Structure 1
């Protein structure tokens, strides 16, 4: 029987991801993470010009993974991915508002 090890990392306010860890989690190079920051898809919790000092939260990882999937599966460039991600977030926010006001049904 084959065995294998799984390594996991908890991402929360007290354990943010470095830019290298974020790149590794997405299966990309660090320059791709720099592009995400430049475009505004993700934002470092530690303002710095040096990617080695950047720190990211779980929501940043989620957005980066969505951007990677859009780029990989649909050939979307990162500017378009940023727009799609923002629109997805806005749709979810508006659905939540409608549900809270009793004006919508579960979507």
Structure 2
């Protein structure tokens, strides 16, 4: 007997914003984890204090990748920030045809 898995997704647009509470709920993490990732420069938050923070689609995507890097490879927040910055730089480079 095959076990079925239910997948869900979120459509992200330029108006997409999540609060700290919402992003923690969606990613199933503690606020302290998000606060650490903001402090380390892994993700950016709009607002001055955690209670005012809003996270856009780019921050949400970076957070999800950073959490996977930590979970799957044991990468710390500083390493995750470096990996994410390098991935973004690769995506900006023109694709060469060889």
TM bracket (short chain): 0.7 to 0.9
Question: As a proportion of its length, which structure holds more helix?
Answer: 1
- Unaligned residue ranges in structure 2 (runs of 5+): 1-6
CA gap of 1:55–1:12, structure 2 versus 1, over 3 A, is: farther
Shift of 1:105: 2.6
Instruction: Give the TM-score, by structure 2 length.
Output: 0.81
Select the structure with the greater relative contact order (CA < 8 A; seq sep ≥ 6): 2
**Rg bigger for which structure?**
1
How many angstroms apart in 2 are the aligned matches of 1:32 and 1:57? 17
- Unaligned residue ranges in structure 1 (runs of 5+): 1-5
Partner residue, 1:3:
none
CA gap of 1:7–1:81, structure 2 versus 1, over 3 A, is: closer
How many angstroms apart in 2 are the aligned matches of 1:82 and 1:88? 10
